[in-house]
Chains A and B, each alone.
Chain A
Amino acid sequence: MYVAVKGGEAAINAAHRLLADRRRGERSLPSVTIDQIVEQLALAVDRVMAEASLYDRALAALAVRQSRGDLIEAIFLLRAYRTTLPRFGTSVPVDTARMAIERRISATYKDLPGGQVLGPTFDYTHRLLDPSLLRQDDVEEPARKEPLPGTMTRVSDILAGEGLIEEDGSLPDDRPAGDLTREPMEFPMGRDLRLQALARGDEGFLLALGYSTQRGFGRNHPFVGEIRIGEVEVEMEVPELGFAVSLGRIQVTECQMVNQFKGSAKAPPQFTRGYGLVFGQSERKAMSMSLVDRALRAEELGEDVTAPAQDEEFVISHADNVQATGFVEHLKLPHYVDFQAELALVRKMRSDIEAAKSEVAGAEANSAEQ
């Protein structure tokens, strides 16, 4: 039950003024700029873009700054901003095979066309705090080398040649891709809608679910077929021009998980696949997404649905951190009247029990006297 509560206005204004002060912090220090956040906290910015489901580095950085680095708050801000804008259209599907590669690795093939390219990775660092970063030291320019010619073949295309791996997921041609931002959620949903939900899902939640499949709750025997990070071209059909124009490039991370599969009543023994695609550089998220995508295909592949990660309604309904934070955090709003009602109820139950006890005690005393 909600009842309007008045009288907080002055306190709220003062609280927001205090928030602005604490956000600015010590005034003798320089204020952090949006460009600095974009350049130097790039992966925080990427996470905000991915989970807000809105690609715009400058706006995501503004949100990070406004939220004092609280990334879920930043995601909330960016989601709210997107609702103020009209939609001009839908892009031509991005072609990740033609990505300008910044990183590409495979755990299934050592020598694959284009090779293993590490890019700017935390892997193989020693995870020791680096005191040199306490100073503003000049950083070496990156090493350079002659690039290999040609595009990098997708690992899934290599295995597909032998017919040992399932193809890219198809849906009926006449079925347009579903859009969670336009239609209410209904279960069961198609893989297209699930992937949209997972792409904007909370990284921590998907990481935990992916981990749970590895620990035996819906095990699906994964191998990283390929992870690639880089820029892809975004094109949109423009009716006035009559052709697709380039809008520019965005950075994405793609993960092709390859899963051993012993076959079932519905499918022969072969490698099945889970897919992850995320805005920005976000390898952990793309990997988690592909593990969960595969787990959620249990029913389609005729596997027993026994674990949380395989339960579509459970996973998709709880993956969105803006929805989750809204419902959890609403508990701190005034519930004075609800609580008064509960209090009266508990008092009544208590007094009923007390009354019943004294009745029993009275009856016992009576029978003892006789």
Chain B
Amino acid sequence: MTASQPSSSAEDVPRRRTAKLLSSAQLGELTSAWEKLPYKPKATPLRGPETGLVMVRGRIGGGGAPFNLGEATVTRATILLESGTAGHSHALGTDKSKAKLAAIFDALWQEEETRSFVEEEILKPIERRVTAEDRRQAEETAATRVDFFTMVRGDD
């Protein structure tokens, strides 16, 4: 588990999905789920929430050597539940309330008793929203695709 040993063994896949969906959450989605939580866990902040930068890289020609394109704001948080489970969150932007809640839900997702709550009340609704938005955008874009036809002129 070092930074230079990148990505994903099979067991990381569900955790990566959780992190991805939590990063695309809207604050409202997280606060309304928090209100629905029957038992509000105590979460101790270990780091942040704090805002910083990530240097976004591209590749020369699209697939060549990496180069630094420019930075983006990122806000992250790490919390610790009383059970000892740590939760992390990272998302583009500067929303600290979102980062804190996302870290708590990341931790709750790792705990057996609360995993299905996080799945049903947060992850699935976000997944549905993102899929619907992507679908709409793809359909709107597809409507602007050019259908070429050839005009035949003169005698044959």
Residues of chain A having any CB pair with chain B under 8 Å: 49-50, 53-56, 58-59, 82, 85-94, 96-97, 100-103, 110-111, 115-120, 142-148, 154, 156, 167-171, 177-181, 191-193, 195-196, 199-200, 234, 236-250, 252, 254, 256, 273, 275, 277, 279
Say yes or no: is B71 at the interface (Cβ < 8 Å to chain A): yes
Partner of B70, one of A53, A103, A117, A147: A53
Contact B141 A119 (CB under 8 A): yes
Q: Which residues of B contact A200 (CB under 8 A)?
A: 70
Q: Which residues of B contact A54 (CB under 8 A)?
A: 53, 70-73
CA distance A338 to B136 in the complex (A): 63
Partner of A241, one of B19, B73, B143: B19
Q: Which residues of B contact A242 (CB under 8 A)?
A: 1-2, 5, 12
Besides the contacts A89-B54, A237-B7, what 17 more A-B pairs have beta carbons closer than 8 Å?
A55-B73, A86-B50, A91-B72, A94-B57, A94-B58, A117-B146, A142-B140, A144-B143, A147-B139, A171-B65, A177-B57, A180-B68, A192-B68, A240-B78, A243-B9, A246-B16, A254-B62
Q: Which residues of A contact B142 (CB under 8 A)?
A: 117, 144-148
Interfacial residues of chain B within 125-149, with CB under 8 A of chain A in the complex: 134, 136-146, 148
Q: Which residues of A contact B61 (CB under 8 A)?
A: 156, 167-169, 256, 273, 275
Residues of chain B having any CB pair with chain A under 8 Å: 1-3, 5-9, 12, 15-16, 19-20, 23-24, 50-74, 76, 78, 86, 88, 90-94, 134, 136-146, 148
Also in contact, A86 and B139, with CB within 8 A (given A56-B93, A254-B62)? no
For B135, give the chain A residue with the smallest CB separation.
A147
Contact A239 B3 (CB under 8 A): yes
Contact A156 B62 (CB under 8 A): yes
Contact A279 B12 (CB under 8 A): no
Q: Which residues of B contact A241 (CB under 8 A)?
A: 12, 15, 19, 88
Partner of B92, one of A181, A196, A248: A248
Q: Which residues of A contact B8 (CB under 8 A)?
A: 243-244
SS of B interface (majority): mixed
Contact B139 A55 (CB under 8 A): no
Q: Which residues of B contact A239 (CB under 8 A)?
A: 1-3
Partner of A244, one of B7, B92, B144: B7
Shortest distance in angstroms between A192's beta carbon and chain B's nearest beta carbon? 4
Contact A142 B143 (CB under 8 A): yes
Contact B24 A245 (CB under 8 A): no
Contact A168 B93 (CB under 8 A): no
Task: Please list 29 pairs of residues, one from A and one from B, whose beta carbons are closer than 8 Å in the complex, sorted by A's number.
Answer: A53-B70, A54-B70, A54-B72, A56-B72, A86-B50, A88-B90, A90-B57, A93-B58, A115-B145, A118-B144, A118-B146, A144-B140, A147-B141, A148-B145, A169-B65, A177-B57, A178-B67, A192-B66, A199-B58, A234-B92, A238-B88, A240-B88, A241-B88, A242-B1, A244-B6, A244-B8, A246-B16, A247-B90, A250-B56
Q: Which residues of A contact B58 (CB under 8 A)?
A: 93-94, 96, 195, 199, 252, 277
Also in contact, A168 and B60, with CB within 8 A (given A240-B78, A242-B5, A279-B70)? yes
Q: Which residues of A contact B139 (CB under 8 A)?
A: 144-147
Q: Which residues of B contact A171 (CB under 8 A)?
A: 60, 64-65
Partner of A177, one of B20, B68, B88, B144: B68
From A180, A192, A199, A252, name the one whose CB has the most chain B CB atoms within 10 angstroms: A192
Shortest distance in angstroms between A176's beta carbon and chain B's nearest beta carbon? 8
From B56, B65, B72, name the one whose CB has the most chain A CB atoms within 10 angstroms: B56
Shortest distance in angstroms between A99's beta carbon and chain B's nearest beta carbon? 10
Also in contact, A55 and B71, with CB within 8 A (given A145-B145, A191-B60)? yes
Contact A93 B59 (CB under 8 A): yes
Contact B60 A87 (CB under 8 A): no
Contact A143 B143 (CB under 8 A): yes
Contact B93 A58 (CB under 8 A): yes
Shortest distance in angstroms between A184's beta carbon and chain B's nearest beta carbon? 15
Partner of B52, one of A87, A96, A119: A87
Also in contact, A91 and B56, with CB within 8 A (given A144-B143, A240-B88)? yes
For A179, give the chain B residue with the smallest CB separation.
B68
